[in-house]
Amino acid sequence: MIKIIYFQRYHMELALIIFLGVMMFMLVSDENKNADMYSVRTFKSSDGWGYQINKKEKVIILQPHMPCIKGNKPFPDEKSALEVGELVLFKIKNNGAPSVTIEELNKKINAFYD
């Protein structure tokens, strides 16, 4: 009788371990799929830089100028455009609004706009 109970408990523990392993694998593979789904690309405009965010190679955001700035001023350099684009992408991946505040913009491009 004791051997049967031990045998059943062993199989239940083994099944639980296998189930948890499969669930962890699925979680990790979903995160990798989501990471590959989005990308940020910079582009040169006539007088500066901009960025676009793609979802599976489809453009979902095209930002040729700095957000939250009066007028249509492009980013001064590629690095600034990329850093702000990566910030927006981070927000998208974390289910946030794809917006940038003036404080975030100033911090990312090391400038002061109001």
Quote the CA–CA distance of 78 and 86 in Å, as a whole number: 12
* E-strand stretches of the chain: 38-44, 49-55, 58-63
Whether 111 has a pLDDT exceeding 80, the answer reads: no
Quote the CA–CA distance of 98 and 49 in Å, as a whole number: 19
Quote the CA–CA distance of 13 and 11 in Å, as a whole number: 5
Residue ranges covered by each domain of the chain: 38-109
Structure tokens that stand for 56 in this block: 């599976």
- pTM attached to this predicted model: 0.67
Q: How confident is the prediction for the chain on average, in pLDDT?
A: 83
Question: Can you tell me the mean pLDDT for 4-12?
Answer: 63
Q: What is the pLDDT of residues 65-102, one digit of tens each?
A: 999 888 889 999 999 999 999 999 999 999 999 999 99
